[in-house]
A = this chain, B = another copy of it.
Amino acid sequence: MSLEAFFKPAAVAVIGASTNPEKLGYAVLDNLVNGGYYADGRQVYPINPGAESILGLRAYPAVTDVEDPIDLAVIVIPYPFVPDALRTCGQKNIPAVIVISAGFREAGMEGLERERELIDIAEEYGIRLIGPNCLGVIDTFTPMNASFSADMPPRGPMGFMSQSGALGTAILDWAQAGRLGLSKFVSLGNKADVDEIDLLGAWQNDDTSKVLLCYIEGLNDGQEFIRVARNVTKTKPIVALKSGVTQAGSRAVSSHTGSLAGSEQAYQAAFRQAGVIRAQSLQDLFDYAIAFGYLPELRGDRIAIVTNAGGPGILATDAIERSGLQLSRFESTVIQALEEFLPDAASAANPVDVLGDARADRYRFALEKVAKDPNVDGVLVILTPQAMTEIVETAQVIAEIAAEVEIPVLGCFMGEARVEAGAKVLEAHNVPNFGFPERAAMVLEAMIRFRRHKEKPLPTYESFEVDKQTVQEIIDSVLSEGRVSIGDAEARSILTAYGLTIPPSELAESADQAVDIANEMGYPVVLKIASPDILHKTDVGGVKVNLETPTDVRDAFDLITYRAQRYLPEARIWGCLVQKMVPEGLEVLIGMNRDPQFGPLITFGLGGIYVEILKDVSFRVAPFSAAEARQMIKEIRASALLEGVRGKPPVDQDILVDAILRIAQLVQDFPIIAELDINPFIVYEEGQGGIAIDMRLILESGEKSKHHSENVDSGSSS
């Protein structure tokens, strides 16, 4: 069902409409009646069994007493009465209900029970529900204020959704001060039904929302979020602020809402895969919102700076370069024109310094020239309030030229008291103005990142032909034995079944057999303890490498099995795995952890100290495309090692992409795999492939899978 009824209803009922101006039920009704909605001739029905009329409208005892159809009901009554009220909405066939009332999941176990009851009722009647425990919904274009917020924010291009109601009130206050213009505002509350994913999908084709803003504490379904957001960002930007990213922050989310925050790495990977612009702070969220809301798209990364002051010009140049953008190189005709028009001491090269005594006309000349230069994708205009500076006039010039050209023009009016009037002119013409050049550079960087994401095709997922059956049998057998971790031979079978290359090897149950196998295989060989109960083989001296003779093999077999028995008398010892020594190559790690919110999170990094000490790893949420896997490989800091350094040839990146994708397929095919590490995977030079040497794999225990499913949905916060 579409969510249209929440934003453009033809008739709204307020269940709990009150005659007492101190009550929320009065505030909501008042906002609907006097906030522009009712004035447009649409119907509002106060529902209150004890009143004849409220705010001049006839009141009804229940929605079922209203004869005409109702599209939207807002419930503002104490929590014990909410389920029954919701049921009457169902009986009346109301498709959309906002439950403002608190006292549900956020209030502990009993509240959670009550919330489940709401969900059941909504499902029974096919009602879509926003809340409970929320501020309400606003659509400035309808216009409709179905919330208890006193202010109707100014109209604008930003659709905003917040899990936190309080943050919502702050946002509305900023909007009220003229900083933001909103199209839609939704306080999601506990997200019993409608959540971020629903709204993103619904707003994707909403022409009034040019940029979608989300404050997120946790997601109900990480995989679905990526799927939906990835589609939305093909046409419009999503900016998200995710809180609870540090350990302490995550504890705060958890103690506040009882939901797991999900890992920071998973969110980072998911946002990147979905093309979601991540705001690191609330301030970033606002600045991104303004830039995406009001500016034309940034088509390239070449920025021009026009300034009346050298120092700030340098600060801006630093910021542009630090953000990975570049300064435009102007056409020679542009430089010539600037040189002719500007005073001698001015700089005609980028950054263009029109000098401290520049009046509006000098800004106009310079700005027109550079904004129309085809080498310029965006312009940052810096103004400091000097003695001869025409602040308001210059702002008007900027607004005029910004309206003429099809590239983003941003203002940076530095100062406050004297520049305020100019800043207001820019604001009035929707030219984003930043007090500091660094913030302007930050938004430009996000804009080019969005543009590049948008231009990329939607990912296509490869599917390899694999032997699922074998893996299923191994897993069944492991589980039937009450184990959660697999042995070496099992790991080898799984890897082979999914098409990864492993070194030739065979299980030897005795020293004699080990020697026979080695003789046939060819020396040197490696011996490894084979036991389902020994996970970290090297810790118990269970690995001997570089065995060159039959004697070496015999000695190693006896030593390894003796040691294993001594250290772990309970362990089942199957013997030793005899494995052919593989040639040296670059060691990498391919791993997976199952994130509670996003599912399979694939890790890639170089082996050994790179992972352990330097934490030099990259992440992606499966599924992902081959292009994304390749990007993942390039993302690690030490990626130059893969390209070949010190005279070494580049490594076989194709085999890495292949192995990563096969592992991604494996963990998607078998959600019961909780953790997995191939370490090391040895990769050889280009065209020479790679070999998976060792794999650790843990299945979810019953306890753990219960834990996971409990955290699939997350609560909201005030």
**A217 vs B163: C-alpha distance in the bound complex, in angstroms?**
44
Query: Cβ of A321 and Cβ of B248 under 8 Å apart?
Result: yes
Say how far A616's CB is from chain B's closest CB, in angstroms.
Answer: 8
Say how far A260's CB is from chain B's closest CB, in angstroms.
Answer: 13
Say how far A27's CB is from chain B's closest CB, in angstroms.
Answer: 8
Provide the residues of chain B in CB contact with A66, threshold 8 Å.
Answer: none
Point out which of A164, A166, A313, A353 has the most chain B C-beta atoms below 10 A from its C-beta.
A166
A142-169 with Cβ < 8 A to chain B: 148, 150-151, 162-167, 169
Mark A275-288 against chain B: 1 for CB-CB distance below 8 A, else 0.
00000111100000
Query: Cβ of B311 and Cβ of A173 under 8 Å apart?
Result: no
Say how far A252's CB is from chain B's closest CB, in angstroms.
Answer: 5
* Of the residues B257, B282, B385, contact of A438 by C-beta under 8 Å: B282
**A590 vs B386: C-alpha distance in the bound complex, in angstroms?**
49
Provide the residues of chain B in CB contact with A38, threshold 8 Å.
Answer: none
Query: Cβ of B167 and Cβ of A355 under 8 Å apart?
Result: no
* Of the residues B327, B435, B646, contact of A283 by C-beta under 8 Å: B435
One of A411-419, A450-458, A626-634 contacting the partner:
A411-419
A275-329 with Cβ < 8 A to chain B: 280-283, 308-315, 317-322, 326-327
Say how far A440's CB is from chain B's closest CB, in angstroms.
Answer: 11
Q: Which single residue of chain B is at the shortest CB-CB distance from A164? A: B311
Query: Cβ of B321 and Cβ of A173 under 8 Å apart?
Result: no
Point out which of A162, A326, A418, A645 has the most chain B C-beta atoms below 10 A from its C-beta.
A418
Query: Cβ of B319 and Cβ of A281 under 8 Å apart?
Result: yes
Provide the residues of chain B in CB contact with A436, threshold 8 Å.
Answer: 281-283
Point out which of A173, A243, A318, A616 has the most chain B C-beta atoms below 10 A from its C-beta.
A318
**A355 vs B321: C-alpha distance in the bound complex, in angstroms?**
44
* Of the residues B176, B322, B418, contact of A246 by C-beta under 8 Å: B322
* Of the residues B176, B419, B638, contact of A614 by C-beta under 8 Å: B638
* Of the residues B150, B162, B384, B439, contact of A311 by C-beta under 8 Å: B162
Query: Cβ of B318 and Cβ of A244 under 8 Å apart?
Result: yes
State the copy count for this chain.
Answer: 2
**A233 vs B490: C-alpha distance in the bound complex, in angstroms?**
63
Q: Which single residue of chain B is at the shortest CB-CB distance from A319? A: B281
Query: Cβ of A176 and Cβ of B418 under 8 Å apart?
Result: yes
Q: Would you list the 7 A-B pairs with minimal beta carbon distance, nearest first? A: A164-B311, A166-B309, A173-B415, A177-B416, A249-B318, A246-B321, A310-B717
Interface residues of A (CB under 8 A from B): 24, 27, 106-107, 148, 150-151, 162-167, 169-174, 176-177, 179, 215, 217, 241, 243-249, 251-253, 255-257, 280-283, 308-315, 317-322, 326-327, 345, 347, 349, 351, 353, 355-356, 384-387, 414-420, 435-439, 609, 612-614, 616, 637-638, 640-641, 645-646, 717-718
**A-B CB contact pairs (8 Å), 24 listed:** A164-B310, A165-B356, A167-B312, A167-B384, A169-B384, A170-B312, A171-B415, A173-B419, A174-B416, A174-B417, A179-B416, A245-B318, A248-B326, A248-B327, A249-B314, A252-B310, A252-B314, A281-B315, A283-B439, A309-B718, A310-B718, A311-B718, A613-B641, A614-B614
A-B contacts besides A167-B311, A177-B420, A355-B718, 12 pairs, CB < 8 Å: A162-B311, A165-B309, A170-B415, A173-B419, A176-B416, A245-B318, A248-B327, A256-B310, A280-B438, A281-B439, A283-B438, A353-B718
